[in-house]
Amino acid sequence: MNKKWECYEVDESKVKELAQKYNINEILAKILVNKNLTKKQDIDLFINPTRKDFHDPFFMPDMEIAVERILKAIDNKEKIMIYGDYDADGITSITVLKSYLEERGLEVSSYIPNRINEGYGLNKKAIEKIYNDGYRLMITVDCGITGAEEIDYANSLGIETIITDHHEPAEEIPKAVAVVDAKRKDNKYPFNQLAGVGVVLKLIQAISIKLNLEEKEYLKYLDIVCIGTISDIVPLVDENRVIAKLGLKLVAQTRNIGLRALLDIIGFKKIDSGAVSFGIAPRINACGRMGNEQLALDLFLCKDYELARKLAIKLNEYNVERQSIEKKIFDEAVEKIEQNEKDSSCIIIGNEGWHHGIIGIVASKVTEMYFKPSILVCFEDAVGKGSGRSIPGFDLHEALMNCLDYLDKFGGHEMAVGVTLKQENFDKFKVELETYAKKCEIDKIVPIINIDSEVSLKSVNIENVKSLSLLEPYGEANKMPIFLFKNLKINSIRALSDGKHLKLSLKDDGFMVDSIGFNMGQLSEEYLLDDKVDIVGNLDINSFNGNESVQIIIKDIRKSY
């Protein structure tokens, strides 16, 4: 698939000025200029944020009301129920708030809806159970902002609710005691992109301020807050960057017994955002996807290492099982696509027996592979439940608004949706969405690779590449830098891992570099020795047998002209 390469227009005079002024190399200076970080205070905040860089929590909507109600509960020794989501953000949110409130002497329980049987968010059966169990104060974390009807029901039973959430509100704000969400229209908080666990951090920060507690009483949870933040793929800028940067330092030396056990099982050598995204988060999320959400929470609340290790092993097993089911669904999906869907503008496929908790991951992979919006639907008892993912430039949520006649329920946003529909309406829905996509001329959307800078091999060395670590942690809105190398000669080429990956040795003006293209093995047949190529990719340090060398992680390759 042809991709469009777009390179930042760099003001070279600014780059040179920044490099000289702060004694940094020009590669790092270019990226800082691209991020519009040219003032010392902005650079310091980005590279070395401190606990002083957190915003005042009381600017959040209803924060004062929420804190006062919780302080009243502390004074009166009330029981509190925390109602959270089943993903990594929800699990870490419950962990932090439950632990903090229990340290304040409260009796705290939690409720996590089962993904398979109950789905996301508040539901009336759960609220009724919470009432019957004797709880009259409920705090939601990572959910609740769209639950106006459920909050009305809770109110009718005599349950008071404090909502803490980070999702977009509906037209009607629930009639809870307090609704703490920076996405509210009346928000005055300077940053509205926190994860659910980030909002919880602000809540316990505000409580700590009111109780005149030391900062460490809430900052000690930054390891868990960091994991939830990175896992939820929120933009790692502003306060999220402070959380991630400071939190990762705590993760490496965590006192949370469950997290320590999980890290020991995973065995990552370096604790960075990648370790969270590809090691910790999938294992937490696997529990929720497989319908065993409580296990991950039990791990993070565990006080005994041996028990925690057993729980961590179980998390690992669920993740392996999830991977196996995911591969099976993906293979079946690709077979269906190759047979019937290759010419479609949107990929919409359904099947009996697909796992509802896993089709969203597969939809992401399908969309990435074909660069088309995709919706995968699993059918059971003539009802289809589906998950969809989109491509930049096509609003999938808006598209579903044009297919309401065939949907029972749907929700989500521009890039990801969930749908419920009758099986008898599936083909009609498919036609309707395909027609809408063609009207939008979706076929003209081309994937874009945003390039930070064009560089030459001679300007790259181990020291320069290591300096890029100052930009970490990488994540949403702070991607690993991508560089363009032009007119490199192929010195050697081969496929690795049974043809799966591409390995290249590249040469330019006497300088050599190794490069690897994951899942690009088929290109070994398209290029020859001495071919001249242009490469875009990330710069990395390869350590082998105690030796370090620079390598390029290839994102795209084309012949030089």
- At the topology level of CATH, where does 4-48+449-559 sit? OB fold (Dihydrolipoamide Acetyltransferase, E2P) (2.40.50)
Q: Kindly write down the DSSP assignment for every residue of 482-516, as one continuous string.
A: -EEEEEEEEEEEEEETTTTEEEEEEEETTEEEEEE
CATH architecture, range 343-444: Roll (3.10)
- At the topology level of CATH, where does 53-253 sit? inorganic pyrophosphatase (n-terminal core) (3.90.1640)
Domain limits, the chain: 4-48+449-559, 53-253, 255-324, 343-444
Residue 152 tokens read as 């009305």
Q: How far apart are CA 534 and CA 556, in angstroms?
A: 9
Distances (CA, A) of 219 to 49, 75, 224: 14, 23, 10
37-65 confidence digits (pLDDT tens): 999 989 999 999 999 999 999 999 999 99
Band (pLDDT 50/70/90 cuts) for residue 83 is very high
Q: How far apart are CA 41 and CA 47, in angstroms?
A: 10
The predicted structure's pLDDT at residue 11 = 87
Is pTM beyond 0.75 here? yes
Arithmetic mean of pLDDT, 257-281: 94
Band (pLDDT 50/70/90 cuts) for residue 330 is very high
- Coil, strand or helix at 2: coil
391-436 confidence digits (pLDDT tens): 999 999 999 999 999 999 888 788 988 899 999 999 999 999 999 9
Buried b vs exposed e over 154-189: b needs ≥16 C-beta within 10 Å? beeeebbbbbbbbbebeeebbebbbbbbbbbeeeeb
Contact 493, 503 (CB under 8 A): yes
Distances (CA, A) of 18 to 31, 40, 393: 11, 10, 34
207: pLDDT strictly greater than 90: yes
Length of the chain as a residue count:
561
Distances (CA, A) of 112 to 35, 165, 174, 460: 39, 15, 20, 50
498-534 confidence digits (pLDDT tens): 999 999 999 998 899 999 999 899 999 999 999 999 9
296: pLDDT strictly greater than 80: yes
Residue 52 is given by DSSP the state G
Arithmetic mean of pLDDT, 461-477: 93
Band (pLDDT 50/70/90 cuts) for residue 91 is very high
Residue given tokens 């469950």 in the structure block: 258
Arithmetic mean of pLDDT, 279-305: 95
**β-sheet bridge partners, residue 485:** 535
Provide φ and ψ at 112, rounded to 5°: -120, 120
173-190 confidence digits (pLDDT tens): 999 999 999 999 999 999
Band (pLDDT 50/70/90 cuts) for residue 212 is very high
Q: Tell whether the torsion through CA atoms of 517, 518, 523 and 528 is positive or negative.
A: positive
